[in-house]
Chains A and B, each alone.
Chain A
Amino acid sequence: MDDALFVHRIHFAFTVTYHYLFPQLTMGLALLIVALKTLALKTRNPAYDDAARFWTRIFGINFLAGVVTGIPMEFQFGTNWARFSQLTGGVIGEPLAMEGVFSFFLESTFLGMFLFGEKRLGRIGHWWAGFLVFTGSWLSGFFIVATDAWMQHPTAYSRLPDGSFQVTSLWGVLANPWAWLQYIHTMSGAVVTGAFVMAAVGAFYVLSGRHDECGRIFVRCGVIAGLIASAFQIFPSGDLHGRYMAQQQPATTAAMEALFHSQAGAPMVIMGQPDVERQRIDNPIAVNNALSFLIYGTTKAQVAGLDRFPKQDWPTNIPLLYFSYHVMAGLGTMFVALMLTAGLLLWRGSLFRTRWVLWCLMLSFPFPYIANTAGWMTAEIGRQPWLVYGLVRTADGFSSNISAANGLFTLLGYMGLYALLSAFVLFLLYRQIEKGPESEPAAMEGGA
């Protein structure tokens, strides 16, 4: 732990991974809450209002945790990655500043009205407050993904004599194809998390025979949204993203698949452990020609292996990249299978009698969190050894004026604080779920 680069990388990885536990739920839930509120307006069924209010309370707790763990992310570009910030601030400072100016003000203004203003705003006004919070959070997601996309696939920049970057066209940064592919994939991943959590809480209520009406609404809403989003996640968004990546970051694709040797008719490895020393896969279970087909649409196509690239440009942790990618893809496939089963039963009207499927729905909510985390690990470990792909190496970006010991000190501080925050958040969420959706709507609006 005395290697400063390593400490700064873990520092960012830990804080951003923990942070993203919250936005993935709130961005997904925001959409689902707007859907519930729309249903409430259309059907005039008060159960939808109860359902929306319940999820708004869950949303509020998670949103707060997302805000307080998000502040250190903006600070860390400067504190821990100063040389990177100095070089690229002229470009990525732009989407980050835009996030502050366009989405944080929007979110923070309407969040207060959304959480506490239901009576004051009336039904329509409150729907709009919810809609604007949803817009703000999805806009915020876009600016962050656009920032990452520029690091993955730099566009619309020029370099000044001192090596620093500046924007040549803001449009070019925001319209980066990588940003849009990654954005739809990220957002539907967030909807998967929101849908699974909603279905899990609903299944819990139905199975335990409490709050049955709301429980059924949660399950129905969660399963329908979960089915659409998890299918969209694989096709077209995952498929498009994967193929674009194979084109733009072929070394990363080779490492994700642990394809050490270039070949025609490359196989897709479903399971097995990559041995980087000997450049092979142990215990492989593979589908022949499948990788060639997925990338190029023909089974005979030539796919570049890692042997095509100089070793210093290989991703620095190939096994972790390989496993992240396989965990993401494997879980994503299982999500479709589970939601398809539940969806068919729902369609035939027997889901609420099929207890084992409800059990599966209740227990499966942690897996979208794992899949989303693994997906981001695939993107970020896959970009290594670069901070800005092909242009700035990770080893040249960290704050060389900060010693490893100071980095470790604040990393440990964050670990301790986040443990405390987790305890509070879990306790509050547990209490809300215990209390259930139908509890005294008016009284719950009190407080800050």
Chain B
Amino acid sequence: METVWFVLVALMLVGYAVFDGFDLGAGVLHLIAARTDAERRQLIESIGPVWDGNEVWLLAAGGTLFYAFPLLYASSFSGFYLPLHMVVWLLLFRAIGIEFRTRLDTRVWCDFFDGAFSIASILLIVVFGAALGNVMRGVPLGADHYFFAPLWTNFQPGAEPGVLDWYTVLCGVVTLVATTVHGALYVAMKTEGPLNARMRSAVQALWPVLLVLSAVAVPVTVFVRPQLLDNYRAVAAGWLIPILVAAGLAGIFYFTRARQERNAFLSSCLYIAATLGGAAFALYPTLLPSSGNPANAIDIRNAAAGSVSLSAGLVWWGAGMAIACGYVIVVYSMFKGKVHAGYGEHG
């Protein structure tokens, strides 16, 4: 039962990364690649009807985590106290940037909101990447399974690391590049004209960087926490995951060249999902490793809620998520197709 919920929580997080990933990535390119006011409006329109729903994946994942693994929720949210509150502040700035930009149509304010949207998007991606890095590396859990991570200590991934060290910063950078590519592919798929062309050249420029960074990140992760290979040693089928990651990367490259925008974007979804899936597979059954004494780690057994709660929850959770997926299909098919520059209404 705990394993089922481990998979479900992981799926929610993958859902968040794939969906909100593209609108975060669009935010990175907002200042650089969209130059005129019309292009920026075009970019925001491409994510306008969906970004809020994409963010719901984060909230729903948080709620599911709280319910299924209360100890993990309590320990990690309090341990990452400072970065999490900063995430909330950035989400606030970003929402103000997107929504208020369209409601205050004066030049000065547009610049302000463009900046808020783009900078908050960049910082959010880096923080999420660093957070993933922290989970891979482990945190200084005490015997009561609690910890408090300062923002940084000596930038070394030792026994008493901060949230930021050289390894987690590397994770943040990899995530930034991957998410930017993801966002660029989405915006390219949704737009035409110069914005579309610039998005495609952004992908072509960033793709080699992403390839190198992905190739570097894997051995470095194993160096930081060698135990992460254990599951791959035990279950050979696990090696399918890195193959999927590579397939996603190759697909991005191939389909972008072939100008099949939709397939290129789907390849990027595959790349992100497989990368996170690979991380989850490596961690299982651990949820949050300990950087010190391994006995303090949080795993699916010591963190799970009571089994009565968990089995009853499968019913309503399954029904609820099935309905939610229905909404996602409705909203994406309703706003499908390209948006046009300077066109008033969505879609």
B217 interface contact, C-beta 8 A: no
Residue of B nearest to A448 (CB): B48
Please tell me if the beta carbons of A75 and B62 are within 8 angstroms of each other in the complex.
yes
Set of chain B residues within 8 Å of A85, measured between Cβ atoms: 66, 70, 73-74, 77
Set of chain A residues within 8 Å of B345, measured between Cβ atoms: 116, 119-120, 445-446
Decide yes or no: A406 and B81 within 8 Å by CB, A86-B74, A104-B60, A167-B312 being known contacts.
Answer: yes
Size bin of chain B's contact surface: 35 or more
Residue of A nearest to B48 (CB): A448
Interface residues of B in 56-113 (CB under 8 A from A): 56, 59-60, 62-64, 66-71, 73-79, 81-82, 84-85, 88-89, 91-92, 95-96, 98-104
Set of chain B residues within 8 Å of A421, measured between Cβ atoms: 92, 96
Residue of A nearest to B79 (CB): A401
A377 to chain B, nearest CB (A): 24
A101 interface contact, C-beta 8 A: yes
Set of chain B residues within 8 Å of A91, measured between Cβ atoms: 309
B197 interface contact, C-beta 8 A: no
Instruction: Say whether chain B's binding surface is mostly helix, strand, loop, or mixed.
Output: helix
A76 to B60, CA, bound (A): 15
Q: Digit string of A99-122 for contact with B (CB within 8 Å is 1, else 0)?
A: 111101110110111001101100
B301 interface contact, C-beta 8 A: no
Residue of B nearest to A86 (CB): B74
B216 interface contact, C-beta 8 A: no
B344 interface contact, C-beta 8 A: yes
A68 to chain B, nearest CB (A): 4
Q: Digit string of A370-410 for contact with B (CB within 8 Å is 1, else 0)?
A: 00000000000000000000000000000111110010011
Q: Digit string of A433-448 for contact with B (CB within 8 Å is 1, else 0)?
A: 0000000001101111
B4 to chain A, nearest CB (A): 15
Decide yes or no: A401 and B104 within 8 Å by CB, A91-B309, A93-B68 being known contacts.
Answer: no
A447 to B342, CA, bound (A): 10
Decide yes or no: A75 and B67 within 8 Å by CB, A105-B323, A108-B52, A109-B327 being known contacts.
Answer: no
B330 interface contact, C-beta 8 A: yes
Please tell me if the beta carbons of A72 and B77 are within 8 angstroms of each other in the complex.
no
B334 interface contact, C-beta 8 A: yes
Please tell me if the beta carbons of A120 and B347 are within 8 angstroms of each other in the complex.
yes
A399 to B78, CA, bound (A): 7
A426 to B53, CA, bound (A): 25
Pick the contact of A72: B64, B88, B328, B330 (CB < 8 A): B88
A28 interface contact, C-beta 8 A: no
Please tell me if the beta carbons of A101 and B77 are within 8 angstroms of each other in the complex.
no
B317 interface contact, C-beta 8 A: yes
Interface residues of B in 298-347 (CB under 8 A from A): 305-306, 308-309, 312-313, 316-317, 320-321, 323-324, 327-328, 330-331, 334-335, 344-347
Interface residues of A in 200-237 (CB under 8 A from B): none
A442 to B327, CA, bound (A): 26
Decide yes or no: A71 and B91 within 8 Å by CB, A79-B81, A112-B48, A168-B308 being known contacts.
Answer: yes
A55 interface contact, C-beta 8 A: no
A96 to chain B, nearest CB (A): 5
Set of chain A residues within 8 Å of B78, measured between Cβ atoms: 78-80, 82, 399, 401-402
Decide yes or no: A94 and B53 within 8 Å by CB, A100-B60, A402-B81, A445-B345 being known contacts.
Answer: no
A157 to chain B, nearest CB (A): 10
Set of chain B residues within 8 Å of A64, measured between Cβ atoms: 95, 99
Set of chain A residues within 8 Å of B317, measured between Cβ atoms: 97, 101
A325 interface contact, C-beta 8 A: no
A67 to B56, CA, bound (A): 10
B186 to chain A, nearest CB (A): 15
Interface residues of B in 252-311 (CB under 8 A from A): 305-306, 308-309
B323 to chain A, nearest CB (A): 7
A160 interface contact, C-beta 8 A: yes
A346 to B246, CA, bound (A): 72
Please tell me if the beta carbons of A170 and B316 are within 8 angstroms of each other in the complex.
yes
Please tell me if the beta carbons of A105 and B60 are within 8 angstroms of each other in the complex.
yes
B50 interface contact, C-beta 8 A: yes
Interface residues of A in 45-83 (CB under 8 A from B): 61, 64, 67-69, 71-72, 74-75, 77-80, 82-83
Chain B positions within 8 Å of A, measured between CB atoms, are 41, 44-45, 47-50, 52-53, 55-56, 59-60, 62-64, 66-71, 73-79, 81-82, 84-85, 88-89, 91-92, 95-96, 98-104, 146-148, 305-306, 308-309, 312-313, 316-317, 320-321, 323-324, 327-328, 330-331, 334-335, 344-347
9 contacts between A and B (CB under 8 A): A68-B91, A71-B59, A77-B73, A78-B62, A78-B84, A83-B74, A101-B60, A101-B320, A101-B321
